[in-house]
Amino acid sequence: MPKGGIRHGAGRPKGTGKFGEVTKAIRLPYSLIDQVLQFVQQRGLCYPLFPADKLPELTPESTAEKLDIGRFLVQNPAATFVVRVTGESMIGAGIFPDDLMIVDRSVRAESGNVVIACVDGEFVVKRLFIGDGKVELRPENKKFKTVKFDNMNDLKIWGIVKNVIHRV
């Protein structure tokens, strides 16, 4: 009689555990166990999402759609990073000092995008304009100047600003 190892038909059928789907054992650093367990129990960074017109009806028994904030803010996790804003060149676009910008490096830059670019060795946040034979990085604050380029090859774009987190 064989001992140990995989036995056909042994164990709980796949997808019947407390998560209702197939699971996988993983190794975690002890310092992250509580964080990961909380994340799994909450099913991500999910919070109730209510339409504004339903707020007066909120009660502890209210049911709401769940919004996973991480998935809402980040479409391409492997190519996404967060940058804290330090300047005021984009205040007209609602991007203020100390805001957090969610930046995606996997998206191709198009005219109208807010981008992070490297200009003369310095990182800047501006709106990209391509058209009429021009390539420009335009600020959204009249105190700052537009940066012009001869062509797209002269411009080093680091990523596209997809979302901004802003305290009120």
Report the catalytic residues: 89, 126
Instruction: Please report the DSSP string for 43-84 in residue order.
Output: TSSEEEE--GGGGGG--TT---EEEEHHHHH-S-GGGEEEEE
Tokens of 38: 């909380």
- CA Rg value for the chain: 24
Q: How far is residue 82 from each of residues 9, 135, 145, 160, 164, measured CA to CA in Å?
A: 47, 26, 25, 11, 9
Tokens of 98: 């100390």
